[in-house]
Amino acid sequence: MTSLSKPIMVFLAIALLFAPIALFPNHASMQLDLRVSPPNLVAPFELAQNESAPVPLRRIGFVANDPHSYLDDFSYIAAVPGSVFTDIDTGTRYISPLILRDGSDTETWLIQDWVEYLDGDGGMTQAISIGDFTDSDILEIQSLIGTKVFPRLSGTTSAEVAAQLAVTDWASSAIAVFALAGEDFGAPVITSSEASYTFQNVKTELETIDSEVTSTSPVRIPFSPPSSAGWLEGSCNWTSAEIFTHSIRDPDGNTVDYSATSRVYYERLVGIPLNFWVPKTMNGEWEMIIHPPLSVSGTIPLEFEVSYHPGFTQSVTVPNGAKWLNVSITWDNAGTNLNLVLIDPDGRMAQWSPTESVLAGLGESVDLPYPMAGDWTILISWIDAVEEQNNVDVSWDVSVMPTGLQDYLESAANGAVLASLLNAPLLYVDADSVPEVTTWAAERLGVNTCILVDPADIHSTSLENELDDYSTFTNIGNYMMLTTMIRSLSGQNDVVISVPIGDGSEFFAPAAFSAAFHGAPILSLCGTDNSLTTRAEETWAPYLIGPEIEVYVTNRYSARAENGWYDERIPNKYSMMKSVTDFENFLDDRGAYNATSSQSVVIVAPVDLLKISFDRSLQSHFSPGRIPAENPAMASVMIARGALHRFLYLSADSADTVLLSMYAYTYEYNRADNFGHPQSLHQYTDSLTAFQGAGYQVESHIGFEEVFEALDSQVALWSLSTHGTLTELPTDPPQRPGGIGVFSMRSEDSPYGMEQEGIADFNADDIVNPVLYDDAPYHVLKTTTDLEGAVDNIGSPIVIVTACLLGGSRFPQMLMEHGAVGVMASPRTVYFQPAGMICKLVTDSLATGNSTGAALSHAITTFSFDYSDPLGIDPRDYANQHVLFGDPEIYLYEPSSSPHVPSADPLTSSFGGHTPGRGVAEVAALGTSGYLPDTLGGLGISHDYYSTSNYSSFELLLSMRHVVLVEPGSLSSLSSNLNAGSARLQSYVTDGGVFVVLGVTGDLSWLPWPVSYDSSGSGTSVTITDPAHPLLTVPNALSSTVDYQGHFSSAWSNLSILATDGTNPVIVAAALGTGKFALTTTTPGDAERNATIQNAVSWADAPSILLRNIQKNQQLIWEGDRVIITLQLTDQLGNGIAAADVLVTLNDTEVAAVDDGEGIYIVILTEEWTTGKVGIHSLRIYARKAGYDTLSLTLADFMLVRSSPLLLILLGAGVVIGVVVLYYYRKYRRGDEIFPHRGKGKSTRFKDKSKAEKQRQKKEDEEFDAAEFFGVE
């Protein structure tokens, strides 16, 4: 690798000069070019070929999740280059999962699918862990993956962990990427304040203005709200049949409200005027602009009126780097409604809490994440105020992120991406210096080319001076340089977005894995001032106006759906366009924007912190996909499943099957799209034809039991078209995001929805809506919880949801937690035909080989609102606000055309100096002579040799060694070192290492386990007492003829005695935790020496008998009880060990252990046995089986047998009887009736009432109106 230093620097120099170098072959052409206008396409779009699949590596990595520490986050990031990397010699990408472990079902299902896939190539061969895992957790992991977890790396600093990872996975590397990392960033700083205000003798004022329309030119109606106004509520009405639309502009010319022709048309059928309802964000002249149609007949009078609701403001200064702005208000005038609004420093409404609802109380709040820096305005307005007093208290908190956290996260995460592309290790530095452990790792690897990634440029010159010592030093000190280098290496335009959390639970860690997979820069959306996160929050504000808001439902003509007069403002198109424009500028400033082709954007952030309306604003120039995990551990699993989808889909039981569940859907629809192209739709038959044409079997079900069962069978795709809503009961504001999610199914199965038996579209209105017709009695409501309880691992399906509101509920997240790799759903109401058209377009795209992101982007561009490139006219539909949950570059694979991709074995594969898990020699030898080096060298076993002079280096690499051997007669020289490192040696063994001390001749007080050595006695042969033990038999059968000096005068009871001098132990061994250790007083010579050393090295791979579990049938044990003790014996991988010789003793009494099969052994203590055995009993287990390490284990104070409880029972009974007698005696002395008469009338009345309640409930249930519930007509 050293010889590559000059060529690689030339390569990097070219990369920085924007050279089009691509290490991801064929990947650049995999996205549809959505900038090409659809009218220029011959077909809906051209087939996009799937990218060249990466090669799966038979490996997995685990990082211990600590939600309150940054150590696990930076450790995870440091492990990314070993999990996703590109061999720069061949251009081949390799990938294996890296899991931030929390033990969830989601994680377990992913592991099981990964193991199943690799089983076709011989199974997983390598697993590493990083961080503090318990032995039980490691054993659980090993039982899942079928291989040993080793090494188990840990450290107290991120730099230490990164250094260990580097030397574990790389034998050498001329290049290393350096990035900033830390563990102590402090806690967020919170400042609080409050204020009060009294509304006194103020009321809502009404202004009316007469105007008229005389031509097709826009009519402007100016109005100037009084300075005391806080809210503007107005309308414009007319009597003619013309269809007008409107827009409202603030004094700065920003359009803050509007209407759409398609909505106004239906509203005018029932006489609804043009309405607006907005906060007064600034003083000055506002205007309502009336937009006439293409033709106008005569003069049309306009009746314009506006109500000015009084309000007051409070200024709040938000510093840079804020995490939250939390504002709460309370007031004391019952029955009044106050609205709370947050206005950002640019004068734009960022978020609000409208309370025009019968559900509103005397308080409300707004929690705004990542507010932009500057002076904010809190606006409180009294709606429909009267001349009364209303006292208002307002309080606010501003939380500021830990200083430097975002910069460090961006540095480390992008460093991981660059290291992955260069197939180089990632090492960590401080802002001012290089840690010693980092220098040690770099020197060991032979690094001569250093690349520092610090796009925020926060490091000091002193750090640069240290790094300048390398032959070549490159400082990537700005975002433009970073993006250029990453893109030049990967050939990709993708971007990964996240946000810092500030509490030690950072999504940047799993996002780094996604970015490495995509070959993309990873950026914090917070930027330098949180302006873009504020714009993202603004896009969500209209979603807080729900079906329960009174002003919203005024004159509405349906019950539950979002189709009142505010409908087309959910979301506000001007806020959406502002969001995507600012995002384009944000990327452009960082060199990450491509104006000429579409870009995939992976957004890794919780939906309650970064709202999904932001994702939708980016459609369709961008193809965004959201990882909707609630925590980083879940995000790591979701991201890994998406990245591994090309492989994991084959693990699904029904990978060749598509499930169609079309309960309510479009029967027929013919309409031109946004570009005038005719489109036709038969939603069910079009979907059926598309998937069958792509080679899939298709199952069609709408009965809830059949649908749930089919989904649980692990289909490739599920297309659901039905009714949906957020919650079963209304809430204010709507529970969005996070509502439970309610949807329609049928109680009895049918292939698709029908309005009457045998007739899909009974009333010939081109939509199928069973809840309105004779099929309604079969309608049932199901929730996300119902579905979740019916399924386990659903494989890796893509899910298309054509239903109202489910995209704003837990439904998509739940599906992804159960294995889905992509879910397309809308967080708001959608309408039959346009939503059905989105379903068709997405279906056709996926079935012809396009990614989920490209498919949805194309559908949105064709038939809905493209905020990134608006048409300038109203699109065909505005309500399709579908967003994609999951990675946007997921494909629908079919088994016959996308077969198994063979995996690479990390134990036998090398990629230059990158030797996964084999960067350090497996064997370390300690000693003072040539005994071990000569033997190991002669056997061809790679090793490193240490003595007292370089013992510190031994300790640095200890956790990475599979075997540590100590040569005979060396303890006296090494004792001080061993004594100082005793705790480290103990951790090494329990964490999976093998530690063998040969020829003990000295003090063993340094040993972590109680063993004593006695130098008396010597000989040339020993007595082997455990002849089947693998240390003595694999691969060589050791001879009993061997020199020994002394014996072990006392040995820990958990040690197995393998050989004696005839009386005393001379060879002892034990399996501890997940590792092993052995001690001998023997000194093998000549041929026996070679055999012994070879066995000791091979012993690391030998299985051990472990006590996995032990249970008693009862915890409280009395003399004379029958006690059943159940033992579970397994190996390190969780395989049950049957047919072992098992000896169990309680104290000194032997008891029988019966083999019950599959590693279960039963010990029965009869009633006779426990009689007379009062006291504490220790349990000793001795289990032996040929080829396995013997188990010798003592469980002290295992069981307490108590004296018979008969006397206590009799005493207790006597006390109870005495109390009862005394109670009735006292009643008798008072003259009370001892046994009062109890009539039956009361209970009869209760029974009658219960029956009536049941009848009433039954009647209400029978009268349930699904059409009213979902707001359909």
Count other Cβ atoms within 10 Å, centred on residue 1056. 25
- For 191-400+533-569, CATH gives 2.60.120.380
Cα separation, 1011 vs 995, in Å, equals: 15
What's the confidence (pLDDT) of residue 19? 35
Beta-sheet pairing, 189-199 with 1160-1165: unpaired
Cα separation, 702 vs 775, in Å, equals: 13
Which is nearest to 1170 in space by CA: 1125, 1208, 1210? 1125
Can you spell out the DSSP letters for 289-308?
EEE--S---S-EEEEEEEEE
CB-based contact 803:722 (threshold 8 Å): yes
Across 214-358, the runs of DSSP E, i.e. the strands, are 219-223, 229-237, 245-249, 255-258, 274-279, 286-291, 300-318, 322-331, 337-343, 349-353
Strand partners, 591: none
Can you spell out the DSSP letters for 1029-1087?
-HHHHSSS---SEEEEEEEEEEE-TTSEEEEESSSSEEEEEEEETTEEEEEESB---HH
Beta-carbon contacts of 940 under 8 Å, excluding residues fewer than 6 positions away, are: none
598-885 is classed CATH 3.40.50.720: no
CA distances for 235 relative to 176, 181, 221, 273, 579, angstroms: 65, 57, 12, 6, 28
Cα separation, 901 vs 650, in Å, equals: 10
Write down the residue that tokens 């065909």 correspond to: 876
* Amino acid occupying residue 107: E
CB-based contact 333:384 (threshold 8 Å): no
Q: Rounded to 10 degrees, what is the CA torsion of 842, 848, 850, 856?
A: -10
- For 923-1101, CATH gives 3.40.50.880
Residues in the chain with pLDDT values less than 50: 1-51, 357-360, 547-561, 1237-1250, 1258, 1260-1262
Q: Each residue of 508-539: pLDDT tens digit?
A: 999 999 999 999 999 999 999 999 999 999 99
72's tokens: 């696990």
CA distances for 286 relative to 253, 255, 470, 764, angstroms: 8, 10, 63, 47
The domain limits of the chain are: 2-16+56-187+403-524, 191-400+533-569, 598-885, 923-1101, 1106-1202
* Amino acid occupying residue 485: M
Query: Helix, strand or coil for residue 687?
Result: helix
Kind and range of the H or E run holding 786:
helix 784-790
CA angle 715, 720, 722 (to 5 degrees): 155
CB-based contact 317:345 (threshold 8 Å): no
CATH topology of domain 1106-1202: Immunoglobulin-like (2.60.40)
Cα separation, 660 vs 663, in Å, equals: 9
Query: Helix, strand or coil for residue 668?
Result: coil
Backbone torsions φ then ψ of 1047, nearest 5 degrees: -155, 175
Rg (C-alpha) for the chain, rounded Å, is 36
CB-based contact 1058:1031 (threshold 8 Å): yes
Cα separation, 840 vs 720, in Å, equals: 12
Write down the residue that tokens 């802002």 correspond to: 431
Handedness of CA 109, 111, 112, 116 (dihedral sign): positive
CA distances for 457 relative to 179, 463, 788, 1184, angstroms: 11, 12, 47, 62
Cα separation, 1065 vs 1060, in Å, equals: 4
Residues in the chain: 1273
Which is nearest to 349 in space by CA: 11, 575, 506, 525? 575
Which is nearest to 1055 in space by CA: 1111, 1119, 1004, 1020? 1004
CB-based contact 1126:1111 (threshold 8 Å): yes
Which is nearest to 169 in space by CA: 920, 1164, 1117? 920
Cα separation, 492 vs 517, in Å, equals: 11
| N-term to C-term CA, the chain | 71
Write down the residue that tokens 């040969």 correspond to: 998
What's the confidence (pLDDT) of residue 1? 34
Asked, colleague to colleague, whether 598-885 and 923-1101 share their fold, the answer is: yes
Helix/strand/coil (H/E/C) assignment for every residue in 689-717? HHHHHCCCEEEECCEHHHHHHHHHCCEEE
Q: Each residue of 997-1056: pLDDT tens digit?
A: 999 998 899 999 999 999 999 999 999 999 999 999 999 999 999 999 999 999 999 999
Query: Helix, strand or coil for residue 1090?
Result: helix
Write down the residue that tokens 């397309």 correspond to: 824
537's tokens: 């929050």
Strand partners, 552: none
Strand partners, 301: 212
Burial of 664 from C-beta contacts in 10 A (0-12 / 13-18 / 19+) = buried
Q: At what angle do helices 5-16 and 479-490 cross, to 10 degrees?
A: 110
Cα separation, 103 vs 90, in Å, equals: 37
CA angle 1173, 1174, 1180 (to 5 degrees): 60
Cα separation, 245 vs 870, in Å, equals: 18
Write down the residue that tokens 């935790």 correspond to: 1073
